[in-house]
């Protein structure tokens, strides 16, 4: 029996860990995504030359093109282009990923300076020979990060180092390592030294109607400057955030719904117990006598029902969320298998067509976040919740009392929060314990521990079979015999 109880505890703890980690880490990753996107956050759209539609790269934009696009758009934009080039010092040469940036680049990307300054508007305007190095590149070239004011050779020109920035040493940072540039220079300087390179990425601050018309607005602006929208990949980060950021809420909704169902069952059990108690009492006594005789039991059941009702109302408020479904995923006719088949085919063709495509840093970050968050949510829903249900059921079958379940659940939740916080720290993000998530998880676990607990207060002596029937919530309608003393 002890082995069975211990196994049940481990199963419950595993489920709690998956539930807490799935919700907590997914939320933390979404928060990190917003932070890394700069002051503009995810309120933006991006335009990238689609190499699948334009293998020659002739769709790349010029400085004149982006000037016209900025005028048509009417809100801040940033543009950039990337290339591999050798960065040289007197003693070393390193091949680095160089990105040319405009003066608004910092608005759409979080550049964490270690020392110095970023690329200024004046440097962009004057085609300055200035460069911003990552910490890693500075270490490779000079053996130290304190290199501000020193010079390097790049593309046959001498560049002065104006600053050093930190590349993210986090899980997501490792996953997008090839998407984080090694050095930044003014985009005007890069295009002056490499005129054939062109501008491959433009990021535009989104307007109020970006969810509905963001892509169409960008296509209209591209058409207005004489460019074919079909040759560009347009990413609406406002919609992407709505779609990805709501996925942890699905896990919270699943846990909250399970808790609500269990609370309803517990409330029904208390009501049926009280009704059965009153019905048996009315066989021999009047209503006032029954209430007076069983006032403690009835008061307990009424209080428990009221508390459970309040918990259900709180859970409904905690898990409510207006979920967003992209219009392109909604068919005119739900029973339309050809629609879903075409969605899958389009997605698969896009993956094949994107092989060899060099995504922008923002696009690559979005892809990695979109890879991790759904999997964390899926693990919590598909594995975490069933494990909790199985373990709680095994506790009941083993006859573990409620106080023992409560202690084990408290240990499990505390351990899960500590491990999740440690995991969040390891992947380089902050983990914030939110009261709403703790309330929903706590309510679910408490209800799971109570659901198999038979009401014992004020119980009348019964045979084992009758006690089991009442514990299951079935009213006791057996006749009562009265024997005079």
- Asked if residue 179 lies in contact with residue 42, where contact means CB atoms within 8 angstroms, the answer is no
Q: Would you put residue 203 in left (φ > 0), alpha (ψ -120 to 50) or beta?
A: beta
Strand-pair partners of 152: 159
5: enclosing H helix or E strand: helix 2-36
Residue 77 in 3-state DSSP?
Answer: strand
Q: What is the pLDDT of residue 245?
A: 86
Q: What is the pLDDT of residue 143?
A: 92
141: enclosing H helix or E strand: helix 135-142
C-alpha 387/C-alpha 16 separation (Å) is 8
User: CB burial class (10 A; 0-12, 13-18, 19+) of residue 485?
Assistant: exposed
- Asked if residue 23 lies in contact with residue 380, where contact means CB atoms within 8 angstroms, the answer is yes
What the block records as the tokens of 67 is 């000037």
Q: What is the pLDDT of residue 479?
A: 43
Task: Give phi and psi for 130, each to the nearest 5.
Answer: -125, 155
Residue-wise over 466-482: b if at least 16 C-beta within 10 A, else e?
ebeebbebeebeeeeee
CA 151 to chain centre: 42
Closest Cα partner for 180 from 237, 111, 94, 128? 111
C-alpha pair distances (Å), 414 with each of 10, 24, 300, 411, 420:
14, 14, 30, 5, 10
User: CB burial class (10 A; 0-12, 13-18, 19+) of residue 195?
Assistant: exposed
Residue-wise over 391-400: b if at least 16 C-beta within 10 A, else e?
bbbbbbebeb
What the block records as the tokens of 249 is 């809420």
C-alpha 261/C-alpha 376 separation (Å) is 24
Q: What is the pLDDT of residue 353?
A: 43
What the block records as the tokens of 149 is 């004011």
Q: What are the boundaries of each domain within the chain?
A: 1-43+237-324+357-485, 61-199
C-alpha 368/C-alpha 370 separation (Å) is 5
Alpha-helical segments (H) within 283-321: 287-293, 295-319
* Measured CA angle at 27 (ends 24, 28), to 5 deg: 85
Pairing of strands 201-205, 77-88: antiparallel
Alpha-helical segments (H) within 194-286: 210-224, 237-245, 247-282
How far apart, in Å, do the first and last CA atoms of the chain sit? 44
Strand-pair partners of 134: 165
- Asked if residue 29 lies in contact with residue 429, where contact means CB atoms within 8 angstroms, the answer is yes
134: enclosing H helix or E strand: strand 130-134
Q: What is the dihedral of CA 421, 422, 427, 431, to 10 degrees?
A: 10
Non-local (6+) Cβ contacts of 379 within 8 A are 18, 21, 22
Q: pTM here?
A: 0.73
Q: What is the pLDDT of residue 412?
A: 87
- Asked if residue 394 lies in contact with residue 4, where contact means CB atoms within 8 angstroms, the answer is yes
Task: Give phi and psi for 44, each to the nearest 5.
Answer: -155, 170
- Asked if residue 216 lies in contact with residue 130, where contact means CB atoms within 8 angstroms, the answer is no
- Asked if residue 41 lies in contact with residue 34, where contact means CB atoms within 8 angstroms, the answer is yes
C-alpha 430/C-alpha 27 separation (Å) is 10
- Per-residue confidence in pLDDT tens, the chain, 485 aa: 778 888 888 998 899 888 888 888 888 888 888 887 888 888 999 998 887 777 776 788 999 999 999 999 999 999 999 899 999 998 899 999 899 999 899 888 888 888 999 999 999 999 999 999 999 899 999 999 999 999 999 999 999 999 999 876 666 665 555 456 889 999 999 999 998 889 989 999 998 888 889 999 999 999 999 999 988 989 999 998 888 888 888 888 899 999 999 999 999 999 999 999 899 988 888 888 888 888 899 999 999 999 999 999 999 998 887 777 766 556 655 555 565 555 555 554 454 444 444 566 677 777 778 778 888 888 888 888 899 888 888 888 888 887 888 888 888 888 888 888 888 877 777 776 678 888 888 888 888 888 755 443 334 334 333 443 444 344 444 444 433 33
Closest Cα partner for 237 from 27, 39, 37? 37
Pairing of strands 77-88, 232-236: unpaired
Q: Which residue has the tokens 């040759």?
A: 231
């Amino acid at each position: 029996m002890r082995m069975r109880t211990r196994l049940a505890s481990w199963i419950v703890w595993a489920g709690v860990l998956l539930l807490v980690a799935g919700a907590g880490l997914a939320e933390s990753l979404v928060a990190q995504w917003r932070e890394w996107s700069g002051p503009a956050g995810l309120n933006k759209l991006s335009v990238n030359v689609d190499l699948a539609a334009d293998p020659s790269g002739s769709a790349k934009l010029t400085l004149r093109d982006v000037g016209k696009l900025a005028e048509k758009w009417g809100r801040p934009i940033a543009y950039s282009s990337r290339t591999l080039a050798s960065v040289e010092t007197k003693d070393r040469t390193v091949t680095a990923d160089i990105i040319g940036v405009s003066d608004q680049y910092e608005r759409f990307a979080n550049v964490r300076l270690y020392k110095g300054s970023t690329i200024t508007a004046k440097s962009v305007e004057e085609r300055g020979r200035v460069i911003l190095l990552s910490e890693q590149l500075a270490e490779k070239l000079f053996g130290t990060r304190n290199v501000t004011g020193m010079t390097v050779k790049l593309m046959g020109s001498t560049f002065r180092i104006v600053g050093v920035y930190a590349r993210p040493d986090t899980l997501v940072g490792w996953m997008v390592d090839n998407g984080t540039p090694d050095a930044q220079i003014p985009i005007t300087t890069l295009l002056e030294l490499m005129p054939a390179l062109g501008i491959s990425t433009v990021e535009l601050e989104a307007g109020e109607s970006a969810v509905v018309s963001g892509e169409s607005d960008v296509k209209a602006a591209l058409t207005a400057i004489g460019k074919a929208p079909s040759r560009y990949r347009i990413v609406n980060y406002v919609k992407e955030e709505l779609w990805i950021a709501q996925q942890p809420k699905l896990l919270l909704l699943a846990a909250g719904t399970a808790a609500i169902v269990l609370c309803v069952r517990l409330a029904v059990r208390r009501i049926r117990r009280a009704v059965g108690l009153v019905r048996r009492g009315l066989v021999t006594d009047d209503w006032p006598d029954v209430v007076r005789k069983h006032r403690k039991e009835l008061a307990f059941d009424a209080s428990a029902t009221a508390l459970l009702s309040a918990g259900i109302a709180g859970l409904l408020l905690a898990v409510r969320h207006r979920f967003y479904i992209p219009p392109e995923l909604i068919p005119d006719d739900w029973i339309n298998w050809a629609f879903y088949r075409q969605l899958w085919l389009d997605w698969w063709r896009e993956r094949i067509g994107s092989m060899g495509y060099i995504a922008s840093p923002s696009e690559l970050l979005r892809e990695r976040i979109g890879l991790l968050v759904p999997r964390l949510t899926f693990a919590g829903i598909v594995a975490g919740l069933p494990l909790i249900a199985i373990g709680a059921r095994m506790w009941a079958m083993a006859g573990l009392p409620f106080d023992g379940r409560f202690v084990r659940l408290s240990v499990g939740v505390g351990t899960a929060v500590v491990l999740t916080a440690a995991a969040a720290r390891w992947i380089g993000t902050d983990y914030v314990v939110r009261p709403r998530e703790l309330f929903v998880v706590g309510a679910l676990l408490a209800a799971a521990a109570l659901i198999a607990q038979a009401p014992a207060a004020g119980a009348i002596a019964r045979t084992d079979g009758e006690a089991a029937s009442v514990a299951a919530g079935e009213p006791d309608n057996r006749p009562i015999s009265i024997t005079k003393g």
